[in-house]
C-alpha cells in the first residue's frame, strides 16, 4: 500500500481534531462542518453528512450547550464522567471522517487507536485538572479551567484544519511537557518519603 503525503496530512488533521475533542466534544465537529461546507476540507467517503447544514445546526447547538454547561460548578465535573467515553468515540469518528484514500480497515484502526487514544489522553488530563481545581477552590476556579479548555479546543481545531503539522507538533510538545511534569512530581514525592 502506498501512503501518500495527502494521507499523512489527513491523518495529522485527524489527530489534531481528536485532541481538540478531548477539550470539548462538539467544537471540532462544528469547525469541520463549517470547513467542509465552505469547500476547504474534504471529508472521507461516508462522512459527507458532517458537511451538511442540518449537521452544522446540530453541532452548533450542541457546542453552545456544552460550553454553557461547563461553566456551572460541579455540573462540569458530572459532565466529565459523560464526556470521557464520548470523547474517545468522538476522537475515533472525527479522525476517520478526515482520513481518506485508505482501506476502511486501516482508516478505522488508525482512528480507534490514534484518534481515540489522543482524545482519551487529553480528556483525562482535563478531568484531573478540573478535579484538582474543584478540590482546591471548591469549584470557583473551574471557570478558568473551562475557559482554557474552550480556548484549547477552538485553537487546536483551527490549527488542525488549517495548519495540521503545527497542530500535531503542538500536541506532541504538550504531551512531553505533561509527562516531564508528572515525572518531576513523582520524583519529589519519592524523595520526600
For residue range 93-129, list pLDDT tens digits in order: 999 999 988 889 999 999 999 999 999 999 988 888 8
The C-alpha cell that represents 44 in the structure block: 472521507
CB 70 within 8 A of CB 58: no
CB 25 within 8 A of CB 41: no
Question: How far apart are alpha carbons 146 and 106 in whole angstroms?
Answer: 35
Q: Is the pLDDT of residue 131 over 70?
A: yes
Furthest-apart CA atoms within the chain: distance in Å: 59
Question: Based on the number of CB atoms within 10 Å of its own CB, is 101 exposed (0-12), middle (13-18) or buried (19 or more)?
Answer: middle
Q: What's the pLDDT score for residue 53? A: 97
Amino acid at each position: 500500500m502506498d501512503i501518500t503525503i495527502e494521507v499523512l496530512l489527513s491523518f495529522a488533521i485527524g489527530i489534531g481534531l481528536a485532541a481538540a475533542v478531548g477539550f470539548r466534544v462538539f467544537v471540532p465537529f462544528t469547525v469541520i462542518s463549517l470547513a467542509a461546507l465552505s469547500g476547504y476540507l474534504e471529508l472521507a467517503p461516508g462522512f459527507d453528512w458532517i458537511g451538511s447544514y442540518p449537521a452544522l445546526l446540530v453541532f452548533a447547538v450542541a457546542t453552545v450547550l456544552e460550553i454553557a454547561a461547563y461553566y456551572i460548578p460541579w455540573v462540569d465535573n458530572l459532565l466529565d464522567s459523560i464526556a470521557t467515553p464520548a470523547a474517545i468515540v468522538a476522537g475515533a469518528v472525527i479522525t476517520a471522517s478526515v482520513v481518506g484514500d485508505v482501506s476502511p480497515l486501516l482508516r478505522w484502526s488508525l482512528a480507534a487507536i490514534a484518534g481515540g487514544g489522543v482524545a482519551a489522553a487529553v480528556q483525562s488530563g482535563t478531568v484531573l485538572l478540573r478535579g484538582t481545581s474543584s478540590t482546591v477552590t471548591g469549584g470557583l476556579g473551574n471557570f478558568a479551567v473551562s475557559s482554557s479548555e474552550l480556548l484549547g479546543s477552538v485553537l487546536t481545531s483551527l490549527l488542525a484544519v488549517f495548519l495540521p503539522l503545527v497542530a500535531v507538533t503542538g500536541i506532541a510538545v504538550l504531551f512531553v511537557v505533561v509527562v516531564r511534569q508528572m515525572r518531576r512530581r513523582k520524583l519529589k514525592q519519592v524523595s520526600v518519603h
